[in-house]
């Protein structure tokens, strides 16, 4: 992943729709979109960084004539992947203003056309001109709007499965006129008002339609004046998943029977066995070699070889098992990232327990998911946040599940109310089975600070745990210590803790405590509110930056404590960083936003997460450097839940309410002696259009890039231990081919080093 690139870490284990594109099988899942390369047997997740224009693929189809794949998104946007790999966007449906629901239900292919079925009618896309040519909406009885579920073309007529039944219209007629359509309600033993018509397909000039309800079956259209629909024997099922036409027949996909084929003379045969109990077959496609690819919602993408009846291969692109994300722990020491599924709501109600609850760990390029489905995993259904001690041990809290010490499956300790003996943790409202841990962090000695929000007035919820001695220290109570939320430590060893935004029934005042754990006098605790500079008393997160300043993310922007007198001087207060608007007027940073999370990178720059995307600010937060949203990045959602930086790699990990992504940032922290040997890419190829990165420099180094003759090409200051170069000279031109020297040293001229970059230009 190059600098400035994104990587999606979305679950790919719940496929819903497939498209066979010859050498590839495209797979739309509940949260991601990827393809299987048949020749290489590898998968690749696709996103906006690959040219897609949206997220959430809900429908797709492949046209073998133009060799194009049509994607329909959840928000009704359309992309067309062309044969040369280019992607053409058609946003006509997205921009269309209509009353009522607007969603894409299916996409099917006709001669030179893509028929996009929607909740407001049918949209026709010309696959040669790459444009929308027609929209049929008021085509129901009496000109009413109907929802279209599927479409097929046969013998000069267009057939639709709709909310009003099956519709047929001759392509030579004016299909914008509802009178050009004939409606059919095939006879079944169920009340017509309770029938549904989900799919139609055309094969060998014949049209087949799936009809659900009592007496459900596949019906074949028999031409005549008028035409009729006749049930095909042995096609009954409780619920159709899809109806697909191929060169050999029409395939019925359902949970009851697997995949059945309707062949000549309405002969029905089973070609793929039903899925295992407890799993659901969503879709299936047949490849030219006779293989079937199955989309099993629980088991992922499967392949059934020619002549076989059951899958022999299974493909799941690497990713977490779920898109649930409450918080992130990015540990540079172990180069490990953990995502905790959560958690609690905005007002501290326990989150709903969903499938996939647990935590997901990313290490060495691979995800491992730890959930209730994994034998030996503790029953922690709402993991909140975590920390690692210097020896790599993971500690994480659960909202109701207490504290967990994790050294791997089979090596786990749990702490709750009174268990084991000596544990001071308390259950909320006196319920010992509801021990709520909202935050925890590790100090320099490897001891773990723990926040236990238990809402018992007069009893502290701030503890220091010694993992070696297995002993606890309880901080003296002050009003609010029973309802703490977030936690951070500064360079002096002081503890900063925020009061939860909801403190019922204690009604403790909201704000931030600064605590000196070395003493217990009244002067060792200070409480900060708006009277001490905060923009609001509702706090979302606390963090220490590279200079030792304390930052607070609030419901009304951010604040910083950088007073050299320290937090216990009564005159020392928080201040609001100011940034200019377009007119040059200064305003508090993000003062109109709820800043829900913040992180500090190796260059001391500040990352802020809001409901309107992700922001990067300068070290003093007086200049906005980047603003990412779903419109200009692969973010799956604009609501940022958490952001953390792996300062070893510079990767910025972002949790949204729709899943996790990572951004390759240009700031790291160099530990120990600088190596200045990691240059990427090197050599630089002629077609490379990104930025070159040099890592391992002394932190905040002064950097000069010259040619071998000593002519200065570029000068800058490193972001922590990393510097990036866009391969241009000061006048903006790309440098010529040659070897370039990267000269770096600290502010005193020490810890210098020289790296070389080979540049190849056309």
Helix (H) or strand (E) holding 240: strand 240-245
Q: How far apart (Å, rounded) are the C-alpha atoms in residues 446 and 467?
A: 8
Cα 78 to chain centroid, rounded:
20
Express each pLDDT in 693-705 by its tens digit: 888 888 888 999 9
Express each pLDDT in 389-409 by its tens digit: 999 999 999 999 999 999 999
pLDDT at 259 over 90: yes
Q: Please give the pLDDT value at position 187.
A: 64
- Please, are residues 720 and 728 in contact by the beta-carbon 8 Å criterion? no
Q: What is the mean pLDDT of residues 580-594?
A: 92
Q: Please give the pLDDT value at position 371.
A: 93
Give the closest residue to 354 by CA, choosing from 17, 30, 27. Answer: 30
Q: What is the CA radius of gyration of the chain?
A: 30
User: What tokens appear for 649 in the block?
Assistant: 């790699």
pLDDT at 373 over 60: yes
pLDDT at 192 over 80: no
Express each pLDDT in 275-317 by its tens digit: 888 889 999 999 999 999 999 998 899 999 998 999 999 887 7
Peptide bond into 280 cis (omega under 30): no
- Please, are residues 614 and 593 in contact by the beta-carbon 8 Å criterion? no
Name which residue leads in pLDDT, 99 or 214.
99
92-96, 253-257, 652-656: least confident range: 253-257
User: What tokens appear for 386 in the block?
Assistant: 């975590």
What's the DSSP call for residue 194? G
C-alpha distances (whole Å) from 173 to each of 15, 34, 179, 585 are: 38, 40, 10, 62
Task: Determine how many CB atoms are found less than 10 A away from the CB of residue 751.
Answer: 17
User: What tokens appear for 204 in the block?
Assistant: 């060998």
Q: How far apart (Å, rounded) are the C-alpha atoms in residues 692 and 703?
A: 14
Q: Please give the pLDDT value at position 255.
A: 83
Question: Average per-residue pLDDT in the chain?
Answer: 92
pLDDT at 85 over 70: yes
DSSP-assigned letters across all residues of 480-535: TTTSEEEEEE-TTS-EEEEEPS--TTT-PPPSEEEE-TT--SGGGEEEE-GGGT-S
- Domains 530-669 and 678-759 fall in the same CATH topology: no
623: region left, alpha or beta (phi > 0 left; psi from -120 to 50 alpha): beta
- Please, are residues 233 and 268 in contact by the beta-carbon 8 Å criterion? yes
Q: Which of 3-7, 154-158, 537-541 has the highest mean pLDDT?
A: 537-541
Q: What residues contact 323, with CB distance under 8 A and at least 6 apart? A: 10, 11, 30, 31, 636, 658, 659, 660
Determine the length of the chain. Answer: 762
Question: What percentage of the chain reaches a pLDDT higher than 90?
Answer: 70
pLDDT at 98 over 70: yes
Burial 19-47 (b: 16+ CB within 10 A, else e): bbbeebbbbbbbbbbbbbebeeeebebbb
pLDDT at 481 over 60: yes
Cα three-residue angle 434-435-440, rounded to 5 degrees: 150
pLDDT at 60 over 60: yes
Express each pLDDT in 484-518 by its tens digit: 999 999 999 999 999 999 999 999 999 999 999 99
Task: Determine how many CB atoms are found less than 10 A away from the CB of residue 541.
Answer: 25
Q: Given the structure tokens 């905040």, which residue do they identify?
A: 700
Give the closest residue to 529 by CA, choosing from 570, 491, 573. Answer: 573
Compute the CA torsion angle 133, 135, 141, 146 (nearest 10 deg). 140
Question: What percentage of the chain reaches a pLDDT higher than 70?
Answer: 98
Q: Which of 5-9, 274-278, 327-331, 735-739 has the highest mean pLDDT?
A: 327-331
- Please, are residues 697 and 674 in contact by the beta-carbon 8 Å criterion? yes
Q: Please give the pLDDT value at position 476.
A: 93
Q: Please give the pLDDT value at position 360.
A: 96
Helix (H) or strand (E) holding 361: strand 358-363
Q: Please give the pLDDT value at position 149.
A: 97
Domain boundaries, the chain: 324-528, 530-669, 678-759
Give the closest residue to 20 by CA, choosing from 87, 103, 109, 95. Answer: 109
Q: How far apart (Å, rounded) are the C-alpha atoms in residues 567 and 192?
A: 74
Task: Determine how many CB atoms are found less than 10 A away from the CB of residue 675.
Answer: 14
Name the 3-class secondary structure at 344: strand
Express each pLDDT in 632-665 by its tens digit: 998 989 999 999 999 988 999 999 999 999 999 9
Give me the residues paired with residue 473 across strands. 464
Q: How far apart (Å, rounded) are the C-alpha atoms in residues 290 and 259?
A: 13
Q: Among 3.30.450.20, 2.130.10.10, 2.40.110.10, 3.10.20.440, name the CATH number for the domain at 324-528.
A: 2.130.10.10
Which 3-state string (H, E, C) describes 413-426?
Answer: EEEECCECCCCCCC
Strands 104-110, 87-90: parallel, antiparallel or unpaired by DSSP?
Answer: unpaired
Name the 3-class secondary structure at 49: helix
Q: What is the mean pLDDT of residues 118-133?
A: 96
Superfamily, domain 530-669:
YVTN repeat-like/Quinoprotein amine dehydrogenase (2.130.10.10)
pLDDT at 676 over 80: no
Q: Please give the pLDDT value at position 520.
A: 67
Task: Determine how many CB atoms are found less than 10 A away from the CB of residue 131.
Answer: 12
pLDDT bin (cut points 50, 70, 90) of residue 79 is very high
What's the DSSP call for residue 23? S
Name which residue leads in pLDDT, 354 or 344.
344
- Please, are residues 565 and 572 in contact by the beta-carbon 8 Å criterion? yes
- Please, are residues 579 and 587 in contact by the beta-carbon 8 Å criterion? yes
For the domain bounded by 678-759, which CATH number is listed? 2.60.40.4070
pLDDT bin (cut points 50, 70, 90) of residue 194 is low
pTM for the model stands at 0.83
Residue 531 — φ and ψ, nearest 5°? -65, -20
Q: Please give the pLDDT value at position 409.
A: 93
Name the 3-class secondary structure at 369: strand
Name the 3-class secondary structure at 531: helix
749 burial via Cβ count (<10 Å: 0-12, 13-18, 19+): exposed
Q: Please give the pLDDT value at position 681.
A: 87
C-alpha dihedral sign at 232, 234, 235, 239: positive
Task: Determine how many CB atoms are found less than 10 A away from the CB of residue 756.
Answer: 13
Q: Please give the pLDDT value at position 1.
A: 59
């Amino acid at each position: 992943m190059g600098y400035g690139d994104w990587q999606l870490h979305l679950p790919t284990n719940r496929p819903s729709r497939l498209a066979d594109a010859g050498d590839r099988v495209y797979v739309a899942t509940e949260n991601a979109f990827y393809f299987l390369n048949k020749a290489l047997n590898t998968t690749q997740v696709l996103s906006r960084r690959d040219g897609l224009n949206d997220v959430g693929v809900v429908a797709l189809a492949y046209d073998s004539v133009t060799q194009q794949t049509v994607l329909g998104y959840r928000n009704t946007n359309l992309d067309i992947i062309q044969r040369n790999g280019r992607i053409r966007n058609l946003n006509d449906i997205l921009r269309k203003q209509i009353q009522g629901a607007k969603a894409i239900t299916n996409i099917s292919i006709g001669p030179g056309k893509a028929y996009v079925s929607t909740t407001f009618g049918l949209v026709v896309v010309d696959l040669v001109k790459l444009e929308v040519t027609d929209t049929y909406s008021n085509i129901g009885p009496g000109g009413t709007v109907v929802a279209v579920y599927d479409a097929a073309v046969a013998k000069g007529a267009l057939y639709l499965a709709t909310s009003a039944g099956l519709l047929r219209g001759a392509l030579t007629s004016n299909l914008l006129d509802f009178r050009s359509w004939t409606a059919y309600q095939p006879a079944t033993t169920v009340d017509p008002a309770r029938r549904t018509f989900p799919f139609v397909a055309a094969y060998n000039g014949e049209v087949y339609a799936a009809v659900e309800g009592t007496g459900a079956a596949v019906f074949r259209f028999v031409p005549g004046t008028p035409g009729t629909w006749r049930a095909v024997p042995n096609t009954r099922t409780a619920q159709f998943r899809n109806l697909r036409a191929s060169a050999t027949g029409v395939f019925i996909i359902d949970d009851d029977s697997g995949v059945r084929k309707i062949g000549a003379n309405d002969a029905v045969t089973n070609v793929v066995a039903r899925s295992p109990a407890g799993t659901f077959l969503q879709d299936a496609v047949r490849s030219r070699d006779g293989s079937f690819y199955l989309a099993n919602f629980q088991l992922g993408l499967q392949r059934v070889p020619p002549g076989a009846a059951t899958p022999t291969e299974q493909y799941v692109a690497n990713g977490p098992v779920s898109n649930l994300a409450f918080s992130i722990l990015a540990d540079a020491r172990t180069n490990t990232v953990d995502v905790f599924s959560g958690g609690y709501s905005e007002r501290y109600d326990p989150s709903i327990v969903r499938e996939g609850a647990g935590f997901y760990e990313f290490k060495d390029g691979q995800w491992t998911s730890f959930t209730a489905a994994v034998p030996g995993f503790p029953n922690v259904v709402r993991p909140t946040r975590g920390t690692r001690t210097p020896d790599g041990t993971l500690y994480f809290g659960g909202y109701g599940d207490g504290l967990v010490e994790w050294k791997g499956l089979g090596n786990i300790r749990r702490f709750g109310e009174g268990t084991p003996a000596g544990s001071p943790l308390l259950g909320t409202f006196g319920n010992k089975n509801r021990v709520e841990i909202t935050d925890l962090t590790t100090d320099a000695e490897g001891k773990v600070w723990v926040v236990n929000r238990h809402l018992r007035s007069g009893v502290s919820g701030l503890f220091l745990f010694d993992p070696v001695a297995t002993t606890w220290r309880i901080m003296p109570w002050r009003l609010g210590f029973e309802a703490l939320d977030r936690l951070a430590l500064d360079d002096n060893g002081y503890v900063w803790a925020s009061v939860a935004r909801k403190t019922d029934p204690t009604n403790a005042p909201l704000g931030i405590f600064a605590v000196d754990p070395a003493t217990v006098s009244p002067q060792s605790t200070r409480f900060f509110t708006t009277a001490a500079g905060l923009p609001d008393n509702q706090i979302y997160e606390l963090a220490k930056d590279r200079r030792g300043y304390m930052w607070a993310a609030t419901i009304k922007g951010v604040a910083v404590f950088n007073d050299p007198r320290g937090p216990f001087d009564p005159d020392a207060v928080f201040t609001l960083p100011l940034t200019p608007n377009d007119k040059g007027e200064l305003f508090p940073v993000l003062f109109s936003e709820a800043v829900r999370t913040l992180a500090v990178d190796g260059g001391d720059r500040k990352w802020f997460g809001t409901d309107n995307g992700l922001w990067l600010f300068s070290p003093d937060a007086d200049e906005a450097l980047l603003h990412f949203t779903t419109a200009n990045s692969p973010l799956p959602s604009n609501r940022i839940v958490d952001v953390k930086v792996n300062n070893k790699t510079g990767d910025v990990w972002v949790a949204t309410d729709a899943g996790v992504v990572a951004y390759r940032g240009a700031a790291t922290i160099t530990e120990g002696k600088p190596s200045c040997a990691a240059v990427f890419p090197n050599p630089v190829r002629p077609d490379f259009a990104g930025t070159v990165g040099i890592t391992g420099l002394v932190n905040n180094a002064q950097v000069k890039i010259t040619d071998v003759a000593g002519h200065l090409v570029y000068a800058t200051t490193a972001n922590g231990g990393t510097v990036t170069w866009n391969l241009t000279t000061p006048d903006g031109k790309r440098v010529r081919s040659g070897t370039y020297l990267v000269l770096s040293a600290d502010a005193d001229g020490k810890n210098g080093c020289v790296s070389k970059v080979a540049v190849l230009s056309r």
